[in-house]
Every structure is written in C-alpha cells, then in structure tokens.
Structure 1
Amino acid sequence: MAENLQKGILPFFFVSLYGSGFIFCEYGLQNASAMAFLCLRFFITFCILAFIVYLFELPLPKTRKEFLHIFIAGSLTVGTFSIGGFLSVSYGVSGALNALIIALQPVLVTFLANRLLGEQINYRIVLGLFIGFIGVAFVVVSKIDLSSSSYIGIMCSIISLLGLCFGNLYQKKYCSEMNLFSGSSIQLFASTLLTLPFLYFEDIRVNWNFEFIIALSYMGIGVSIGAVSLLYIMIKNGEVSKVASIFYFVPVSASILSYFLLDQEIDRYIVLGIFFIFGSILLIHKKRKKKNV
C-alpha cells in the first residue's frame, strides 16, 4: 500500500501543486517585484513552520553539522532554484524557455546520481530521459520567445537548474532523515537570508491586493510547504534520479491548468508531448524482471 502511495498519489499531488505554482507566480509578479515577492514568501512560510515546530515540540537537528547540511540543501533546492528562476523572468526569459531549461534536470541529476551516489543507469532510463525531454520540448515549443531573452536571463535559468539538481542530490545524501517541518523551516530561513542581498539592487514594489495575497499564500503554503515536502518524501523513499523524472510532468500540469484557469489553448503539440512524457516515465520506472535461478 505504501509503495503504491509513493508511486502514484504522491507524484500526482506534487506535479499538481508544483505546476500550478507557475500560474500563481504570474499573479504574484504582477503585484510585486520579484525578490520582494520571494523574500515575503520564504519568510512568512518560515514563520508558519517555526510556529508549528514550537507548538508541537517537533525535533530539531541534534548537531551543528546536521543543521548545516539542512541549511545548505535548502539554500540550493529552494533558494538558488527560486532566485535564479525569478531573476531569469525579470531579464525577459519566457516561462516556456525556463521550463525547457529546467527539463534538463532529470538528465543532469541522473548522470550526477550515478557518479556521486552510485545509482544504476540502464538503457531504459537513458532512452526514457531522452524521450521525456522531447516531450517537454513539444509542450513548450510554441510558447518559447527568444526575442526578449537575454544572455544574463538564460544564465540565471541555468543557475536555477544547477541549484535544483545539486540541492536534490545533497538532500538525498545528507538530509533524508530530517524532520519535514523543522528541516523545512531551517531551509526557508536559509532561503530568506539568501534573498535579502538581492533586495538592495531591486526597485522594491508590493501591492497588497486580494490577488497578491492569494498568490503569496499559495506559493508559501501550497508550494514551499506542500510540494517541497512531497518532493523530499519521494527523494527519501526512492532513487533521486527516478524522482527527478517526475519534473517532466510539471510543464504538462502548468499547461492543463492554464487551459482551465487562463483560457490558454492546448494544441496538438502539447497532446503529442504528453504522450511522449508518459512513455518516458513508464520506461524510467519500469521494474526489471527477476530471473528465476
């Protein structure tokens, strides 16, 4: 039962929460400058989690070393990933191009997990990763706008990608046993500190209207607590390379939700991309048949 939950329900909820985050992010950035939005999101969510930890007397890291590992993992997975993504958007990189760059994450994580964590790679995983990337390309290709993108923006997207990759690997190696609430509160505190210097270079703007409060609440609770917790549970219980492949579904989720919430069309390329991505996930997660001795 627990294995079925891990393989079916958790990835579904993760993709739904994470994919819809792109939509609420757009609403948030319409009413606040990028780093101000991020800093508020991280700090408010940190306060909520810290209160939960205090209220229920949840366990904290036992040593400074354990605290530092959690701090570093959060700085990468949450802080670097989010800051890089938000800065890339502010430099004109479209959400579609961002999605395509982040779609390299499963490939990069799989290679690094093999080298650093000793996870096995076979031809099915390699083929699945290749097919999945093609699927993401089909989903986002019609929305990619290169004309407004800058080299700095694309570099920020790459930094975002590297933060997510190395953060997931670091989480798997050093933080798999952390308490989700106390550990996440430390990681959000780390991400808040990481965001603060960028405020100095920004024309800070916050419009506290209903749309912004909804976006801030969703990004804080739905994504920073809900989606990230699900990601960490999946990383703890499975191979990080296979968990990374779930990210192929995030642009699909964002496209489907955009259809219902923003009246954006789902064209034949998106449908074709969805089939490619489903095929890739089946290949990557297919179990090897045990040979009878």
Structure 2
Amino acid sequence: MPLGAASALTFFYALGYPIGALAVSAMSPMAVLVFRFGLAGAILSGWALAARVKWPTGRALVHVLITGLLTQALQFICLYIALMHGAPAVLGAVVISMNPVITAVLAAMFLSENLSWTRVGALVLGVVAVLAACAGRLLAIGGVDTVVLLLIVALVSLAVGGVYQQRFCSDVDFRASAALQNGVALLPVAALATVMPWHVTDPWKAAGAVAAVVLFNATLCMSLYVRAINNYGAAAVAMLFAVIPAVAGLLSWAMLGERPDIGIAVGLVIGALACWLNARGARRQRSVASPTASTMRAALPSD
C-alpha cells in the first residue's frame, strides 16, 4: 500500500475507538449505531449518485450486503456493546489488531494463499497477544466474560468480511459498496434498538461524538477501508492493524485519559511481532512464487 493511503486509513481507523467510546458513554450503543449507519449511508449514497457510479445488481449486490452485515453490523454491534460494558478503547483495538493473523488463515482456506510455518508461528503469537491484552480483565472477572467474547466476535467478523469482500466484491465501486454496507447494517441495528434501552445522558457530548463517528469513522474511514481492500487486497490492509492499536492507545490516552495496563502493553508488543512475522512470511512466499512464475512464463513457446 502507498504510504499516504496507509497512513490515512491507520489514523482514522484508530480514531474510531476513542470517539466510539465517547459516543457510547453519552448515548446507548444501538442509538449511536442507528445514527452512524443511517447518516453515513445517506451521505455515501449521495456521493455515489453524484459520481454516477455503477451500482451492483444480482449476485454482486447480495455479496456486498453480506459483507456489510459482517464488517459493519456484526463488528460494530459487538464492539460498541463491549465499550458500553466498560471495555477500554485500547483493549478493543488490541484484540481486533489480530485481524492480520486471522485474515492470513482465512485467506489460506478460501483464497488459496499458502500458510507457511512462519505465518503459523504468527498465529500462535497472535493468540498469546490477545490473552495478554485480556489478562487483567480475565483475572478481575475470574474467566472469559461477555466483553472479551464480544471483542473476539468483532475480530472474527471483521476478518471474515474482509476476505469475503476481496473474494466477491473487488469489482464493485467503493462508494456504492460502502453506501450499501451502511444501509444493510442499519436493519439489524434498528431492530435491536427497539428492544434495548435507549438513553442519552449528555446531549451535547452525544451530538459531538456521534457527528465525529459518522464523519470520520463511518463515512471517511470505512470508505478508505473498502477502497483499500478493492485495490490492495484484504491481507495488505489487515497488516495496518499492527500499527492501529498503538495509535488508538495514544489517542485514547489523550482524549479519554485511558492509560494502557501492563497486560495491554505486552499484548500490543506481541501482537505487533505477530503481525510482523505474518508480513515477513507473506513477503517470503511472494519472493519464492515470483521466480517460479517467471520461469514458467519463459518456458512457454513464443509466437
């Protein structure tokens, strides 16, 4: 990925954790998500219509909607409920930073990408990183609680959605795809909002935080995310999660006063090592594959 695109996506994705925590501290999570998906869907739809992009139809439309339910609805429902129940924003970022490792496994299973022993080692380190990051909460609660499970579901849904998008939706314009994903994500969120408590504890804080979530995270960040997967692939985009937790930690410290505990700090270091190993293994596989492909092309008869 080009440095500019990678830097922008990293910053705005990391920013989503503290502003999401601010939003759910002032308003119930399903209310935040109703505004998030509804307003972002309207903005992105207007952008797509103004740009006269081609909207997907048939199977392509179904695939985009499935991607939206995974990467938007399921991920953020789980993440925001976890934040509401006291999960530090940086803890959510560290757990979801295992996206590159999970994505590598899924890519090997469904995109025919090889999984070397180096990348298997990265997977093991990824599991250790998540356990380290959650250690403080696991010790305090006495086991795996709802918050940890919610964050793990958010992680898996993000990874599955990214691989699914690369497999089935790479030809869809990112503006149309992002608009449709927000639109379909609004449906389960609206249904949950009718049966879950709806409250606003601080109207001005809620308005500012929700506006930031809609503009910076739901509209700008997720558009960059969809476009990056279309252009560079799920594995390349997932590698940014080696850096995102550190940026999210700094932003959370500055905005929320949340200092990461020792377990989260250890998890961040091990998680970064896991992502580095995964990237190293992927580069080594590409370097081995490239000469082989060149040799095969050279062996073909010329016209």
TM-score range, shorter chain: 0.7 to 0.9
Alpha-carbon distance in 2 for matches of 1:205, 1:35? 10
Q: Deviations over 1:264-285 (max 9, x none)?
A: 4467777766655554444333
Q: Does 1:213 align with 2:207?
A: yes
The change in CA–CA distance for 1:202 and 1:122 in structure 2 (over 3 A counts) is same
The alignment's C-alpha RMSD in Å is 3.2
> Which 10-residue stretch deviates more, 259-268 or 220-229?
259-268
Alignment of 1:213-232 (within 5 A): 213-232=207-226
> Which 10-residue stretch deviates more, 178-187 or 141-150?
141-150
Task: State the shift of 1:141 in Å.
Answer: 5.3
The change in CA–CA distance for 1:119 and 1:13 in structure 2 (over 3 A counts) is same
The change in CA–CA distance for 1:88 and 1:267 in structure 2 (over 3 A counts) is closer
Alpha-carbon distance in 2 for matches of 1:279, 1:268? 17
> Which 10-residue stretch deviates more, 76-85 or 246-255?
246-255
- Aligned position for 1:3: none
- Aligned position for 2:13: 18
Q: Does 1:109 align with 2:89?
A: no
Unaligned runs of 5+ in 1: 1-5
Check whether the contact 1:90–1:153 (CA below 8 A) recurs between aligned residues.
no
Alignment of 1:131-142 (within 5 A): 131=125, 134=128
The change in CA–CA distance for 1:222 and 1:274 in structure 2 (over 3 A counts) is same
The change in CA–CA distance for 1:138 and 1:8 in structure 2 (over 3 A counts) is farther
- Aligned position for 2:47: 52
Check whether the contact 2:101–2:126 (CA below 8 A) recurs between aligned residues.
no
The change in CA–CA distance for 1:148 and 1:222 in structure 2 (over 3 A counts) is farther
- Which of 62, 65, 87 does residue 68 from structure 1 map onto? 62
- Aligned position for 1:187: 181
Task: State the shift of 1:47 in Å.
Answer: 0.9
Check whether the contact 1:91–1:149 (CA below 8 A) recurs between aligned residues.
no
Identity of aligned residues (%): 21
Which amino acid in 1 is paired with 2:210?
L
The change in CA–CA distance for 1:163 and 1:273 in structure 2 (over 3 A counts) is closer
Alpha-carbon distance in 2 for matches of 1:213, 1:145? 36
Alignment of 1:117-132 (within 5 A): 117-131=111-125
Alignment of 1:218-257 (within 5 A): 218-257=212-251
Q: Deviations over 1:163-202 (max 9, x none)?
A: 2122112111111111111111111000001211101221
> Which 10-residue stretch deviates more, 265-274 or 223-232?
265-274
SS of residue paired to 2:195:
coil
Q: Deviations over 1:34-54 (max 9, x none)?
A: 101111111011111112222
The change in CA–CA distance for 1:231 and 1:217 in structure 2 (over 3 A counts) is same
Aligned length: 287
Give the alignment's TM-score, normalised by structure 2: 0.80
Q: Does 1:42 align with 2:19?
A: no
Check whether the contact 2:177–2:226 (CA below 8 A) recurs between aligned residues.
no
Alpha-carbon distance in 2 for matches of 1:149, 1:46? 38
- Aligned position for 2:22: 27
The change in CA–CA distance for 1:123 and 1:230 in structure 2 (over 3 A counts) is farther
The change in CA–CA distance for 1:33 and 1:149 in structure 2 (over 3 A counts) is farther
Which amino acid in 2 is paired with 1:17?
F
SS of residue paired to 1:60:
coil
Task: State the shift of 1:136 in Å.
Answer: 6.2
Task: State the shift of 1:255 in Å.
Answer: 1.0
Alpha-carbon distance in 2 for matches of 1:264, 1:222? 21
Alpha-carbon distance in 2 for matches of 1:109, 1:255? 23
- Which of 242, 254, 259 does residue 253 from structure 2 map onto? 259
Give the alignment's TM-score, normalised by structure 1: 0.82
The change in CA–CA distance for 1:26 and 1:93 in structure 2 (over 3 A counts) is closer
Alpha-carbon distance in 1 for matches of 2:229, 2:168? 11
Task: State the shift of 1:17 in Å.
Answer: 1.1
Alpha-carbon distance in 1 for matches of 2:85, 2:136? 20
SS of residue paired to 2:34:
helix
Alpha-carbon distance in 2 for matches of 1:153, 1:281? 24
Alignment of 1:133-172 (within 5 A): 134=128, 146-147=140-141, 151-172=145-166
